[in-house]
Structure 1
């Protein structure tokens, strides 16, 4: 079990890991060892996440989300597989933690009197500048 918060724990069977060759440093090992990790997590079908959190998670994932609702995280910062795996799992956990709090609803506000006056003063000044651009009239 991967602990996200006190209420949310992911079962490791929900996460699919594939080990691929990393493009980063590694010397002669880089062409022989599959040290990078590609982690896949199906956010749509996860039983551990409440529906509202899953929806926010998919919105937050952005380009990491496939059309099937699977989040793909590739970790290749480190030279060894174990550290890359831990990094990928931690990045997924951070993404889920960011999706947990519901968005704060926007409260409608009215502009202040001073801001209205500043806006109208700016418009009047701009109007005067444009009015001066007209052609010259001779009497």
Structure 2
């Protein structure tokens, strides 16, 4: 996956929230950007799969964007952002196995019908008769 990480672009910004004097002057928050269409690492079929599975995360320009501000250091946030984007892209490439429709066996059908009859008889016996 070394080639894929070369296509990533990083932006830094000031993290929000509490953090004392450090938070207002140090840009520790890291945003990683990746243009899906311009990727040389994936073929067209894989790109389409990534775009369809991550359509809610990809903006109008076709850029997958992820911001991390977990750590107090820019380096750790950059590493975390890279790992997260790799994980997201890898997950989007997994194709689920197609579900094969199965029929219940004759014994299962008979068992179900038998249970339904027993249940119905039980309820019938509860009725008050004169």
Same-fold call, TM > 0.5?
Answer: yes
* Aligned residue number for residue 22 of structure 1: 15
Over aligned residues, Cα RMSD in angstroms?
3.0
- Equivalence map 1:24-103=2 (5 Å): 24-61=17-54, 63-103=56-96
Runs of 4+ in 1 over 4 A off after TM superposition: 117-128
* Aligned residue number for residue 4 of structure 2: 10
TM-score (ref. length: structure 1): 0.69
- Asked if 2 retains the 8 angstrom alpha-carbon contact of 1:37 and 1:88, the reply is yes
Q: Where in structure 2 are there 5+ consecutive unaligned residues?
A: 125-130
Q: Where in structure 1 are there 5+ consecutive unaligned residues?
A: 4-8, 132-139
CA deviation after TM superposition for structure 1 residue 16, in Å: 2.1
Alignment CA distance shift 1:126-1:50 (3 Å): farther
- Asked if 2 retains the 8 angstrom alpha-carbon contact of 1:19 and 1:35, the reply is yes
TM-score (ref. length: structure 2): 0.73
